[in-house]
Structure 1
Amino acid sequence: MSKTRETGGIDALSLEGVGKRYGDVQVLDGVSLRVPMGEFHALIGPNGAGKSSLFNVISGLTPPSTGRVRLHGRDVTGLPAHRMARLGLSRSFQVANVFGRMSVFDNLRCAAMRRGGLGYQWWCALDRGRGVAQRANQIMAQLDLARRAELPAGELSYAEQRALELGMVLATDARVVLLDEPTAGMSRAETARMMELIRGTCQGRTVLIVEHDMRVVFGLSDRISVMVQGRLVATGDPEHIRADPAIRQAYLGGIVQEPE
């Protein structure tokens, strides 16, 4: 991933004092974060730290209890996921989320329809909308899935399904992309391939990624934030995070370790 990013101007994504409570349980506590346009930002922390809960708030799956979320300077706090998608933010999930009975091509074509504001109009011809099929073909080529175009997505390998999900995110032409553990469950070779795909396809976009594999985190990120018990406890460039003695002590043998 390019280590250069746009500076100045409006941040792609900003959080101000974001909190989330379920009854007596506080899962997010005063999270504030600024992600400049074009930055690749990793969010790390132990299981249960609140990373996925934060993704759910940012992407509109659940509203925050407190605080504000801004996308390219616009207050989008509490907007539902479909509105966030229309404003240029899209996300992947921890488990591959594709239409298993539909072909690879049709999965991407439906995602591209959202890009043109057409929605999932199942009763209409899927070719409706200028450039939809071309966009799907372009994404398939980028992900090396063209040879799988007519295969039902459910018959792809696990790694291919994760690649397809990445393609569906990108087919919407989102400028801000949230990737939730995109290499979870992959072999070393599959992880390396997914890193190549992310580098190639997300170039120029703003990316916020949750990931446990430190080879991925340190290999892709411009900056890293560490989350513990619903709070951000540190943010810095990879060298700063790796060298911080408190973080190393807390996570040696766990989340923060020297990349191989």
Structure 2
Amino acid sequence: MKIGPITTRRGDLEIVVDPIDVEPGQRLVVFGPNGAGKTTLLRAIAGDRAERIAYLPQRPYLFRGTGRTNLMLGVSDAERATQLANRLGVGNQLDVSARSLSGGERHRIALARTLATDARLVLLDEPTAPIDRRDRATILSTIVEATEHRSAVIVTHDQEVAVALASELAVMIDGSIRQSGDPSEVFTLPADDDVAAVVGVANAVSGIVSSVNDGLVTIDAEGVEIAGVGSGLEPGDAARALFGAETVTVFTDFDAPSGSARNRWAGTITSVRPVGILVEVVVEDRFAAVITPGSMEAMSLEVGAVVTLAVKAAAVRVVAAP
């Protein structure tokens, strides 16, 4: 299914998006910060379609009547709709007045209705925004199953939601799609500094291009050589090496294996802090890695310890410096 091209405006922000193909069974997630134009894009897609669509706005509206009355609007398969309501945790609220439902309950009923329709295109705007975190996994898996054979476009600013739902990921910044592709590639190999900042790439190291060889670009970053994937760069150009903390392997200096990682640096740990269930280790105030608490304990890592870092060149994106 082809979507676009789309050109629209919200205030001073112009949204310009080239045509996008979203195949049946594909979930295109448009990911970006608040104010990037994601909701405006989704509304434009909804208004651009001649065929029937299923659209869940960020703040869905329920009509007077019961939860069931609202659930069945535009739905031909009542049994399927009820199953989805049960799965989303509002099956016991269907005979309650819509006016007495909480915001989260109204959202779940609207989501169940949207997923229960037989529309070929499903549009979801921040589908988990008002959902309690403890229920998020169930909501996400339900969305995946319900859109298995349909095209879906989903917008979110939440990286966890993007990773869970996307079969194709598009990063939107200031009204335009700056990078799209396989989610793992977008998150680990951002196209530029702006995308790196949005997807949360921890390492952005500045340097000067020292060599270019068959798409492998090496930069000199104040005496540290970093090799990665890049294009359009020449020796002497100012550049940045971008790579995620999760791509960095940490060894104690005496047990670093010879392995295939092209990039290797030794340094001193300058800070350690918890990041969710992991631990972020920063070396020389320049390079960040994430490891498990168990690995940290096994290697006796602490501030002041000397370690070796290793990163495969394929996990590094080298881009022109801004």
Confirm or deny a common fold (TM above 0.5). Answer: yes
Q: Does the Cα contact within 8 Å between 2:53 and 2:120 map onto a contact in 1?
A: yes
Aligned residue number for residue 43 of structure 1: 30
Q: Which has the higher helix share?
A: 1
Tell me the distance in 1 between the aligned counterparts of 2:83 and 2:131. Answer: 25
Displacement over 6 Å in runs of 4+: 256-260
Residue-pair matches, total: 204
Tell me the distance in 1 between the aligned counterparts of 2:137 and 2:59. Answer: 19
C-alpha deviations, 1:67-110, integer Å up to 9, x for none? xx5xxxxxx4xxxxxxx4xx2312111113222x3111111222
Aligned residue number for residue 240 of structure 1: 185
Letter in 2 for 1:174: A
Q: How does 1:175-190 map to 2 (within 5 A)?
A: 175-190=120-135
Once superposed, what is the RMSD of the aligned Cα atoms? Answer: 2.9
Tell me the distance in 1 between the aligned counterparts of 2:108 and 2:245. Answer: 26
C-alpha deviations, 1:13-53, integer Å up to 9, x for none? 3222x211468x35212433221221011001122211111
Aligned residue number for residue 58 of structure 2: 94
Aligned residue number for residue 14 of structure 1: 3
**The residue matched to 1:111 in structure 2 has which SS?**
coil
C-alpha deviations, 1:114-145, integer Å up to 9, x for none? x5xxxxxxxxxxxxxxx6x5454444344443
TM-score normalised by L of structure 2:
0.56
* Larger RCO, structures 1/2 (Cα 8 Å, 6+ apart): 1
Note closer, same or farther for the CA distance 1:253–1:185 as it changes in structure 2 (3 Å cut): farther
Q: Which runs of 5+ in 2 are unaligned?
A: 203-243, 247-275, 278-322
Q: Does the Cα contact within 8 Å between 1:92 and 1:166 map onto a contact in 2?
A: yes
Tell me the distance in 2 between the aligned counterparts of 1:257 and 1:193. Answer: 28
Q: How does 1:69-88 map to 2 (within 5 A)?
A: 76=49, 84=50, 87-88=51-52
Tell me the distance in 2 between the aligned counterparts of 1:185 and 1:135. Answer: 23
One of 111, 130, 141 as aligned partner of 2:74: 111
Q: Does the Cα contact within 8 Å between 1:159 and 1:190 map onto a contact in 2?
A: no
Tell me the distance in 2 between the aligned counterparts of 1:136 and 1:184. Answer: 21
**The residue matched to 1:94 in structure 2 has which SS?**
coil
Aligned residue number for residue 203 of structure 1: 148
**The residue matched to 1:110 in structure 2 has which SS?**
coil
Q: Does the Cα contact within 8 Å between 2:28 and 2:153 map onto a contact in 1?
A: yes
Of the structure 1 ranges 176-185 and 243-252, higher mean CA displacement relative to structure 2 is found in 243-252
Question: % of aligned pairs identical?
Answer: 30
**The residue matched to 1:185 in structure 2 has which SS?**
coil
Letter in 2 for 1:106: T
Tell me the distance in 2 between the aligned counterparts of 1:54 and 1:196. Answer: 25
Deviation of 1:203 after TM superposition, in Å, equals 2.4
